[in-house]
Amino acid sequence: MSDIAKSTPKISDNGAFGVSGTGDTSGYGGLVLKGVQVGSSERPFGSYFDEVVDDLERAYPSFSDAIEKVVVDRGELTLHVKSSRLLEVSLILRDELKFEMCMGVSGAHYPSETGRELHALYPLLSLTRNQRIRLEVSVPESNPHIPSLVEIWAANNWQERETYDMFGIIFDNHPGLTRIMMPDDWPGHPQRKDYPLGGIPVEYKGATIPPPNERRSYR
């Protein structure tokens, strides 16, 4: 983690601009945030989701070992896959279940989920079935390694570089895992929740202006 990120309090603990609590500006909302993760779903999943899960179970014998949970929420199917099994599952999804396209990968950072802080989300699309599913992989911040899917879906090349750049997830065996948006020598991974918004001092004509999160308090 960068020095910048270390020196400032975790935004996830304090809210935007150092606000403590819920960010409920009125004070009457009584909002308590309990995290984002939705629990595992029970059969029948509804829609085409039963069919997809059935097909995957048939094509992939160690389904129960590799898939941590199946979540159906908001009309979307999410398969939580162990990162060690991601390559196998992906290959079967592409070749047997005809999910030919991976629409990229995006990261998410949940500092409150100890041991599974960093998540990678892969939306898959099947042109043959005209269906979508999502794969979700979670890894600890201390050892953020996920196998690269570039060999399976070449489209993930830049997408994985972006996720590495923004979240610091290391995609093993990626052909060239370098930063893509930020400069090559940039410290830290900006989209992590403990990375402050605009935490970089601005220097203009010799005068240094503190980063926005330190300029004024919104408390």
Q: Which residues bind another protein (CB under 8 A)?
A: 16-17, 22-26, 29, 31, 33-36, 38, 73-76, 78, 100-104, 106-109, 121, 123, 125, 127, 130, 132, 134, 153-159, 162, 166, 179-183, 190-191, 197-198
Give residue 26's identity as a one-letter amino acid code: S
Residue type at 81?
Answer: V
Distance (Å, rounded) from C-alpha 205 to C-alpha 219? 31
Q: How far is the CB of 62 from another protein (least distance, A)?
A: 26
CB of 195 to another protein, least distance (A): 8
Please count the CA atoms within 13 angstroms of the CA of 29 that sit on its side-chain side. 9
34 versus 205: smaller Cβ distance to another protein: 34
- Residue closer to another protein, measured from CB, 89 or 157: 157
Which residue lies nearer to another protein by CB, 59 or 103? Answer: 103
Strands (E) in 3-130, as ranges, are 67-73, 76-81, 101-102, 106-109, 118-126
Query: Please, what is the minimum distance in Å from the beta carbon of residue 6 to another protein?
Result: 18
Measure the CA–CA gap between 13 and 18, rounded to whole angstroms.
9
User: Which of 162, 214, 215 lies closest to 189, judged by CA?
Assistant: 162
CB of residue 47 vs another protein: minimum separation in angstroms?
A: 13
Nearer to another protein, 85 or 94 (CB): 94
